[in-house]
A = this chain, B = another copy of it.
Amino acid sequence: MTITLGKLAETIGAEVAGDSAIEVSGVATLETAGPKDISFLSNPQYAKLLETTQAAAVIVSRGVKSERLNLLKTADPYLAFSKAVIALHGHRRHPHNGIHAQAFVDPTATIGENTIAYPGVFVGPRVKIGRDCILYPNAVIYDDCVIGDRVIVHAGASIGHDGFGFATSKGVHHKIPQIGNTVIEDDVEIGANAAIQRAAMGSTFIGKGSKVDSLVSIGHGVRVGDHALLVSQAGIAGSTTLGHHVTLGGQVGVAGHLSIGNHVTVAAQGGIIGDVEDQMTLLGAPAMPLHEARRVYVVFRKLPELLARLKQLEEQVAELAADRSK
């Protein structure tokens, strides 16, 4: 699609500083953009590229200036960029509509209008899926799960497999039927090969607008609030509850039976082993409040120096003590 810069600016809510009449047709990185592409700068780390980019125009925040470039100025360049991608490229066009012949949908399942199931998808008995969903190849939805509208499930993700629930008696682990299900609300996206268990009883729950990245693991009975961001390879053990707007960095682990508040953020590889209050930002394993963790890790790296200073002190004190007893 080709439109003028002026028209694009209107669509994405930006202001043109430069030539509104030029035509643009694509979006690219600052480094690879050509004379028909627009690009964007949201991370100041890359500001130098403004001097060399061949882009037709660059989406920037209001304060940025350039003598050589057409600029699209806006309060939120990243959001404007996302709108530009949609305007110029659109979302994926699927190679077929509806349920592909090589997918399997149980006759007792119900699937809403415009939902697409790619080859290899499995939708089990009594599953309910809303409208405008996309189930990518080999995604699996176990029996009785409930999926809202506009939900995207990427390749190989499994939703609603049995929770890891066993009653151990005399050293033998006896399987406990997992009679609950998984409920996924509207506008959720589930990454490739993610694994979201069904509840032992009741529902494992992913709140509306939450985004779950590739290879994330969610245990049985977990409740993820609305608008979460769970980055790749994070894991949440059973029966833990997350408030809304929680962000877990990559490879974060959260223990079971915990209560994590709203707007909590955990840095990558963090380990959460206790309840967390609203608004906390945590770092480390075990996770600590950000400012505390930073101080701890600074000293951590200096441990050999600390030990050396301690030894020196011990010698000095021994000397002083010896002096005294003379």
Binding site for B on A (CB under 8 A): 27-29, 32, 43, 45, 76, 78-79, 81-82, 85-86, 89-92, 95, 100, 102, 104, 106, 108, 118-120, 122, 124-125, 136-138, 140, 142-143, 152, 154-156, 158, 161-162, 164-169, 171-177, 179, 189, 191-195, 197, 201-202, 209, 211, 213-215, 217, 219, 227, 229, 231-233, 235, 237, 245, 250-251, 253, 255, 257, 268-269, 271, 273, 285-286, 288, 292, 295-304, 306-307, 309-310, 313-314, 316-317, 320-321, 323-324
B residues in contact with A140, CB < 8 Å: 120, 136-138, 155-156, 192
| Contact A177–B217 (Cβ < 8 Å) | no
Q: Are B85 and A176 in contact (CB under 8 A)?
A: yes
Q: Considering the chains assembled together, what is the distance between the CA atoms of A92 and B320 in angstroms?
A: 75
Most buried by B among A189, A273, A299: A299
B300 touches A191 (CB 8 A): no
Contact of A176 among B81, B168, B202, B214 (CB under 8 A): B81
CA A120 – CA B139 in complex, angstroms?
10
Closest to A228 in B: B173
Task: Give the contacting residue for A161; candidates B79, B119, B191, B245; CB below 8 A.
Answer: B191
If A138-B156, A191-B164, A296-B304 touch, whether A253 touches B227 (CB-CB below 8 Å) is no
Most buried by B among A79, A193, A209, A316: A193
A288 to B165, CA, bound (A): 27
Interface contact A307-B317, CB-CB below 8 Å: no
Count copies of this chain in the complex: 3
**CB-based contact B137/A122 at 8 Å:** yes
Q: Are B167 and A81 in contact (CB under 8 A)?
A: yes
Q: How far is the CB of A75 from chain B (nearest CB, A)?
A: 10
Chain B's closest residue to A219 (CB) is B232
B106 touches A201 (CB 8 A): no
Knowing A136-B161, A161-B191, A313-B317, the reply to whether A90 touches B177 (Cβ < 8 A) is yes
Partner of A173, one of B152, B154, B211: B211
Known contacts A104-B102, A177-B89; is A167 also within 8 Å of B78 by CB? Answer: yes
- With A120-B140, A164-B232, A300-B303 known, 17 other A-B pairs at CB within 8 A are A28-B202, A89-B179, A118-B122, A120-B120, A120-B122, A120-B138, A136-B142, A154-B161, A166-B229, A193-B195, A213-B217, A233-B235, A237-B268, A286-B301, A295-B303, A298-B304, A299-B306
Give Cα distance in the complex from A43 to B227, angstroms: 31
Q: Which of B155, B193, B235 contacts A250 (CB 8 A)?
A: B235
Q: Which 9 A-B pairs have the closest CB atoms?
A: A122-B137, A195-B214, A82-B167, A158-B192, A299-B303, A140-B155, A104-B119, A155-B158, A82-B176
For the complex, what is the distance from the CA of A199 to the CA of B288, rounded to whole Å? 33
Among A108, A233, A273, A295, which residue has the most Cβ atoms of chain B within 10 A?
Answer: A233
> Chain B residues with Cβ under 8 A from A235's Cβ?
215, 232-233, 250-251
